[in-house]
Amino acid sequence: MIYLLGGSGYVGHAYQALLTRKGIPFRNLQRADVDYTNPKVLTAALKADRPDFLINAAGYTGKPNVDACELHKTDCLFGNAVLPGLIAEACTAAGIPWGHVSSGCIFTGARPDGTGFTETDAPNFTFRQNNCSFYSGTKALGEETLAGTPNVSMLTCLPCNTRANSTKSLVLPPVQDPM
């Protein structure tokens, strides 16, 4: 069984559809049922249910779009940079492998050879480089927070308005479907 955090969002809905289509059992963990922002609460739930894997699709994108992150910086920073570290703490304590959904919005432009970025490329649209959006900066900080964390896979999403085979995609899709 897979735990899914953030299942009510755009990416979370896509994961629910994928897992359902593939017949993979999962639990869409609602924060109202289990406060997964609290590492002790999440650790206890993980130890009780013993899922095989956790997918973190939770984060803050703002409403109606990422531009709202500029107005709600505390929520954005917590959801995208702090929360991944808290989830890592719980997963490590419970011994559960997991995947963190990041964003292709941490890249801008193209690689020096003109090709699109891959999931192994270092972000170049961050608080440390360029004039990034607050959303992109916090997503990059989330990846930094998890650097060196054991048993975590980084899952990079394409921007919502691109297609995997589009020449406008900044991040190339994984070679094979991990599910």
pLDDT given for residue 159 in this prediction: 55
Does any domain span residue 171?
Answer: no
Q: Are 144 and 123 in contact (CB under 8 A)?
A: no
- Residues spanned by the domain of 79: 2-157
- The answer to whether 2 and 57 are in contact (CB under 8 A) is no
Structure confidence by residue, pLDDT tens digits, 107-154: 888 888 988 887 778 888 889 986 889 999 999 999 999 998 988 888
Domains of the chain: total: 1
**Burial zone of 78 (CB within 10 Å; 0-12 exposed, 13-18 middle, 19+ buried):** middle
**For residue 113, what is the domain's CATH number?**
3.40.50.720
**Angle, CA 153 vertex, CA 42 and CA 169 arms, to 5°:** 120
For residue 145, is it within any domain? yes
Q: Looking at residue 156, what is its pLDDT?
A: 73
Average pLDDT, the chain: 85
Is residue 119 in a domain?
yes
Q: What is the pTM of this model?
A: 0.84
